[in-house]
Structure 1
């Protein structure tokens, strides 16, 4: 902390770059108000209605937000629909407990279990459980469950913030997010970056003072009740940032990006077809990653073949002859899917997820492969498998895919086997990259770093250990890129590192010549490559 009573300044860590100047609003977790318990039947009915209302609120948020946000919220929806979990709570009400007391007791026990778990993934989900606890209790006590309305353009400050609370805030007028704890690799940080909301985490203790605030996501600072000099310097930094973004958009319209005379392919990551409406998407060299898990979050159940085919076909038609890389279902880990993923795994990140899960559930996987095989005849399609550890997993996926194509052709349906590649996100795969007979490789830097450091990337307490520019991470990236160069096999990187200007120099020096980024980051990444190429650096 720096400064006196007026002009207090705090430094944290950048989670999302940008600038915000507005009212300072503290968001306190917890429940408010009192309620009088009724008869046993009335209490059971009140809890059921509150649970249904909370589930509806979260499902509505997921439907509006779509994409990765919907996947993140699926955890909360699944718990509210878990009758085995709810049965014990209703039994407690039957024994005389008030609805809010029974609910709080059960959720507090669950939260304590999650917080004491050795698995960092489970610890990270405790804030989601706390959100559910408070949301249902507030509804029981006569509230609407949702957070109080926050003025547009506010700098919102909280100890931590679950994704559902972030999505309830209207960010259309700007604003920013300042967290006392949190992590730059958390789910909320991912949502903030996707929406261009500046965010700073790990600010430490902040007294409940301040009417207005300046949040500098680039310098990772929060200034409360700024004086004239602080405001002048802030506006100067913001104007430099604005001009930089404007020049980046001009560079975006140039035909290619290059570095040291070599062309750099810049592709985009998408989750839904609607994301192709982003104004900058048209300038991409193609789609380097289409996540398909969003198809699993619809409340109508697992998607049928026709639903999937229509989504894939729409993306291929948009791309015309540009390449489109679609990743098969990467469910599991932090993306549980009712009816598909395995419940109760001690460590979901190291469990049956990605291709492992798909091969274990061929009845679901085959439906996706049929839709992909049909779409392959419509454009320049490439398909990649996630979470591949050993070459025999790739070959098992290839064999099943080839059998699907043969069956479709036998049925008189146009289909073909597209190029097949793998995500390189397991250290064992990166170390033995030459043993994989893949048509291409795509490095998933988020999971790769997570497994290298044995640290959950969403756990703020471990954020200082997860350094994407650590020599161990760069060595495996360079190893994969070098194998691709020697073998004539394309290698791209589609994780968060590709969208971070601070990582670009290292990635290019590792030998990467294909990067897949969020559409909102495309202009800045192209501008950064242009500066690096001209020797101007990042400053």
Structure 2
């Protein structure tokens, strides 16, 4: 038996044969061409074919993993039309009189290296994307298909790492789990595993060797371990662990329709976080009490220009109507930091996490903000809609927001467009400043929602995207919990409710602590709603 340790990205146990993902081999050689115009035309045809393929993949991905995760294929299409990328390829073909394959391969290497060396984690992630999209063009130029092999039986898919285009083309019915040599918790393989609810272990390095192809294996997604050719004792132990896990999932299903109430009678609302209208099915399926965070920036991220008022209105209206009177809290756009949008033309920042983002963009570009607020207020008549503002640090900002809201209401009245006058307004508690000012801020708004991801990074002065600082990043740090407690006390002192919509809300080790603090609501990913309900009902 071979035991290989890695990093778990989704729990559970899967048992089956290992199938190593096979890519078609191609050798890229540098050859001289006499007709550079014909060679450039050859590249352009391959590029257009690649864009057509990506459109098909986008449609498939929407069905498999939802709109938010399918967006990567729209980004890949844009990458193929990127002027810098195209100019580099054309420049190499024309100045060196070389073949298109060499020009694409060289450009891909140069761009990937450039992205990988950047400080920004988001830009580092683009290195894998530029390689993936260039490999697609090279496959077309070389006349080879892009790999994979037919899955004749359910198996555990193993690879160095899987590009988004590769994961989407797998037969989902036959994938028992993922095991990769490299990759991060935010890689497309990890996202797909979480979406499909299947065990996955990443970062196993060279120990995950293709010579194990076809061997019986076990993924323990709870511990991040892969067992190759397991002995009888390990197999029996893992079969028992898998049976218990499936039994637990079945138990959780029995909690649907039950109240989120402790043994002593303390009630708390459990809502769901979503990033897209397509996530609503998961909210209803998991019996969430409402939507505690709808990330409206996805409307901006998947558009090639500013989304119109009508586009936004249609999305917000669909969400509140679908939730049939349950609370839906929509966060105004949180662009900037790790979420960049080209058409916003945001300047490069040395430290984007501390930069021009979220409410700071809205208050300095009121025309964008007003469009969103108009759409939100128009949608408010179709259900129970609340509006939440991110990255607040002062009372002055909240008062400025209220001024803009009054202007929007006046416009809507003048145009005879219906809206609710008393839409509940709240703010995100994400900065130490908002915690320290929470008593004063509570006088201005109806509720608080703690964004624990940013609150942790700002409190601890640790960039949460920096993997080198993982050992120092402690979301359970007493200072972080003291900040949440202080905000809760100040909210309640002013008669306002407070919830958590960050990652910590789903941390079952802290549920009891949050109940003691008197938090009124926890908003988590749809898949965590029932496990959290179970934990709450077990608390004294």
Q: What TM-score comes out, normalization by structure 2 length?
A: 0.87
Structure 1, unmatched stretches of 5+, are 1-6, 534-539
Q: Equivalents in 2 of 1:76, 1:449: separation in Å?
A: 32
| Cross-structure match for 2:321 | 317
| Cross-structure match for 1:155 | 156
Q: Equivalents in 1 of 2:233, 2:249: separation in Å?
A: 25
| Cross-structure match for 1:25 | 19
**Does the C-alpha gap of structure 1 residues 164 and 275 become closer, same or farther in structure 2, counting only changes over 3 Å?**
same
Give SS of 1:501's match.
Answer: coil
Contact kept, 8 Å, 1:153 with 1:171, in 2: the verdict is: no
Give yes or no for the alignment of 1:425 onto 2:430. Answer: yes
Spell out, residue by residue over 1:221-264, the C-alpha distance to the aligned partner (whole angstroms, 9 max, x if none).
11112222221111100000111111111122213333643101
| Cross-structure match for 1:89 | 89
Give SS of 1:339's match.
Answer: helix
Give SS of 2:408's match.
Answer: helix
Q: Equivalents in 1 of 2:146, 2:223: separation in Å?
A: 35
The Cα shift of 1:186 comes to 5.2
Q: Equivalents in 1 of 2:425, 2:457: separation in Å?
A: 25
Equivalence map 1:92-103=2 (5 Å): 92-95=92-95, 96-103=97-104
Q: Equivalents in 1 of 2:453, 2:20: separation in Å?
A: 31
Give yes or no for the alignment of 1:469 onto 2:476. Answer: yes
Spell out, residue by residue over 1:63-88, the C-alpha distance to the aligned partner (whole angstroms, 9 max, x if none).
51444314555554443232244223
**Does the C-alpha gap of structure 1 residues 339 and 157 become closer, same or farther in structure 2, counting only changes over 3 Å?**
same
The Cα shift of 1:132 comes to 2.7
Contact kept, 8 Å, 1:183 with 1:201, in 2: the verdict is: yes
- RMSD between superposed Cα atoms in Å: 3.0
Equivalence map 1:120-269=2 (5 Å): 120-145=121-146, 153-184=154-185, 188-208=189-209, 209-210=211-212, 211-258=215-262, 260-269=264-273
**Does the C-alpha gap of structure 1 residues 444 and 164 become closer, same or farther in structure 2, counting only changes over 3 Å?**
farther
Give SS of 2:342's match.
Answer: coil
Compare 161-170 and 354-363 and name the one that shifted more. Answer: 161-170
**Does the C-alpha gap of structure 1 residues 464 and 58 become closer, same or farther in structure 2, counting only changes over 3 Å?**
farther
Give yes or no for the alignment of 1:355 onto 2:359. Answer: yes
Spell out, residue by residue over 1:457-505, the C-alpha distance to the aligned partner (whole angstroms, 9 max, x if none).
4555444443322333323323322322322222211223323434434
Equivalence map 1:401-416=2 (5 Å): 401-416=405-420
Equivalence map 1:62-81=2 (5 Å): 62-63=58-59, 64=62, 65-71=65-71, 75-81=75-81
**Does the C-alpha gap of structure 1 residues 496 and 157 become closer, same or farther in structure 2, counting only changes over 3 Å?**
farther
Give SS of 1:334's match.
Answer: coil
Give SS of 2:522's match.
Answer: strand
Q: Equivalents in 1 of 2:472, 2:74: separation in Å?
A: 28
Contact kept, 8 Å, 1:70 with 1:297, in 2: the verdict is: no
Give SS of 1:125's match.
Answer: helix
**Does the C-alpha gap of structure 1 residues 334 and 70 become closer, same or farther in structure 2, counting only changes over 3 Å?**
farther
Contact kept, 8 Å, 1:493 with 1:515, in 2: the verdict is: yes
Q: Equivalents in 1 of 2:402, 2:57: separation in Å?
A: 37
Spell out, residue by residue over 1:340-382, the C-alpha distance to the aligned partner (whole angstroms, 9 max, x if none).
3526444444433222223343333322211111111222210
Q: Equivalents in 1 of 2:430, 2:129: separation in Å?
A: 26
| Cross-structure match for 1:536 | none
Give yes or no for the alignment of 1:434 onto 2:408. Answer: no
Equivalence map 1:246-395=2 (5 Å): 246-258=250-262, 260-278=264-282, 280-281=284-285, 283-298=287-302, 301-340=305-344, 342=346, 344-395=348-399
Spell out, residue by residue over 1:80-124, the C-alpha distance to the aligned partner (whole angstroms, 9 max, x if none).
232244223212211213222222222222222222223344334
Contact kept, 8 Å, 2:14 with 2:220, in 1: the verdict is: yes
Give yes or no for the alignment of 1:52 onto 2:38. Answer: no
Q: Equivalents in 2 of 1:188, 1:387: separation in Å?
A: 30
Give SS of 2:226's match.
Answer: strand
Compare 392-401 and 73-82 and name the one that shifted more. Answer: 73-82
Q: Equivalents in 2 of 1:364, 1:329: separation in Å?
A: 10
Q: Equivalents in 2 of 1:264, 1:519: separation in Å?
A: 16
**Does the C-alpha gap of structure 1 residues 334 and 160 become closer, same or farther in structure 2, counting only changes over 3 Å?**
farther
**Does the C-alpha gap of structure 1 residues 264 and 288 become closer, same or farther in structure 2, counting only changes over 3 Å?**
same
State which of 516, 519, 537 in structure 1 corresponds to 2:523.
Answer: 516
| Cross-structure match for 1:11 | 5
**Does the C-alpha gap of structure 1 residues 66 and 384 become closer, same or farther in structure 2, counting only changes over 3 Å?**
same
Q: Equivalents in 1 of 2:356, 2:148: separation in Å?
A: 36
Give SS of 2:278's match.
Answer: helix
Structure 2, unmatched stretches of 5+, are none
Q: What TM-score comes out, normalization by structure 1 length?
A: 0.87
The Cα shift of 1:290 comes to 1.3
Spell out, residue by residue over 1:201-226, the C-alpha distance to the aligned partner (whole angstroms, 9 max, x if none).
33343141322321111122111122
